């Protein structure tokens, strides 16, 4: 009796937090999405979402988010693996994490200078003999800078998963005659998929709604859902339409969470069965 009362006291901060800062805002967004500019109840915002530019906007947002996540993973996994093998791994990890403490906008502005026509990157290309290229305001610069920004968030969970991996398992696999590739595919990868999945979650979802970088680095040649939401709220003052796009973003978020969590079970079951 006493114990359960104590537990309910402990749960107050958590419940209050979830109610005030998670459920209430989502409920408000859903509520606003049913109103038009004049404040009348309507489903027009949802119809608008499927009939106008927003649908192709969603598709291109997904495409870029996929690219960003893919390249982050491609770089983060080997990096994390290498880190676990180094002597002072916590120090090396810290060095990778530190840049993520610097303000995002500052880092983005630095890239404008680095990638400019007269920046160091182009100076290098010129000495190598390739010649000046337009780097800023391209798909490449957008994906590159985004990957740079998200990489620490991808490395961290993968590093933790790899670090927890019992080395005896790898030794056992090698002793039983598995090649390096088989060991990776059958032992290391299945045991670290959890880390990879949380990495994907923290990268993919924010990448869908990036908006400052789209303007500063991509010159608005890449548009994401985040840009559209910002514009609806600040410029057009159409809170209804902005909320509708946000509702879809939340739905996509849940789908991604479901997909990444679902696979996780299968993988670990597989591991156990073998």
Nearer to other proteins, 107 or 186 (CB): 107
Nearer to other proteins, 196 or 218 (CB): 218
Q: How far is the CB of 94 from other proteins (least distance, A)?
A: 22
Q: How far is the CB of 67 from other proteins (least distance, A)?
A: 14
Residue 237 Cβ, how far from other proteins at the closest point, in Å?
A: 6
Instruction: Report whether 252 contacts 59 (CB < 8 A).
Output: no
Residues sharing a CB contact under 8 Å with residue 220, sequence separation 6 or more, in sequence order: 214, 227
User: Kindly report the CA angle at 132 between 129 and 135, in degrees rounded to 5?
Assistant: 125
- Which residue lies nearer to other proteins by CB, 65 or 154? 65
Q: Which residues of the shown chain bind other proteins in the complex (CB under 8 A)?
A: 37, 52-53, 56-57, 60, 112, 116-118, 134, 136-137, 215-216, 218-221, 223, 228, 231-238, 241
Q: Is residue 159 within 8 Å of residue 93, measured between CB atoms? A: yes
CA dihedral for 218, 122, 154, 62, sign (positive or negative):
positive
What's the closest the beta carbon of residue 56 comes to other proteins, in angstroms?
A: 6
- Chain center to CA of 13: 28
Q: Which residue has the tokens 């901060």?
A: 13
CB-nearer residue toward other proteins: 180 or 236 = 236
């Amino acid at each position: 009796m006493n114990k359960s009362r104590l537990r309910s006291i402990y749960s107050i901060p958590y419940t209050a937090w979830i109610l005030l800062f998670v459920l209430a805002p989502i409920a408000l967004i859903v509520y606003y999405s049913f109103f038009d500019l004049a404040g009348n109840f309507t489903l027009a915002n949802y119809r608008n979402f499927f009939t106008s530019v927003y649908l192709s906007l969603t598709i291109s947002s997904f495409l870029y988010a996929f690219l960003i996540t893919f390249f982050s993973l491609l770089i983060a996994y080997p990096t994390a693996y290498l880190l676990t093998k180094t002597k002072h791994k916590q120090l090396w990890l810290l060095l990778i994490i530190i840049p993520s403490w610097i303000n995002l906008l500052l880092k983005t502005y630095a890239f404008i200078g680095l990638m400019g026509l007269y920046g160091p990157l182009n100076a290098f290309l010129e000495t190598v003999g390739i010649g000046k290229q337009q780097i800023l305001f391209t798909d490449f610069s957008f994906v590159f800078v985004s990957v740079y920004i998200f990489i620490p968030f991808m490395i961290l969970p993968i590093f933790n998963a790899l670090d927890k991996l019992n080395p005896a398992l790898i030794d056992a696999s090698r002793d039983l005659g598995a090649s390096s590739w088989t060991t990776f595919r059958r032992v290391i990868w299945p045991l670290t998929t959890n880390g990879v999945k949380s990495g994907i979650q923290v990268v993919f979802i924010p990448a869908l709604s990036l908006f400052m970088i789209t303007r500063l680095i991509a010159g608005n040649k890449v548009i994401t859902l985040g840009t559209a939401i910002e514009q609806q709220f600040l410029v057009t003052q159409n809170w209804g339409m902005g909320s509708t796009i946000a509702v879809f973003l939340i739905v996509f978020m849940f789908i991604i969470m479901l997909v990444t969590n679902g696979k996780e079970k299968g993988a670990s079951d597989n591991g156990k069965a073998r």
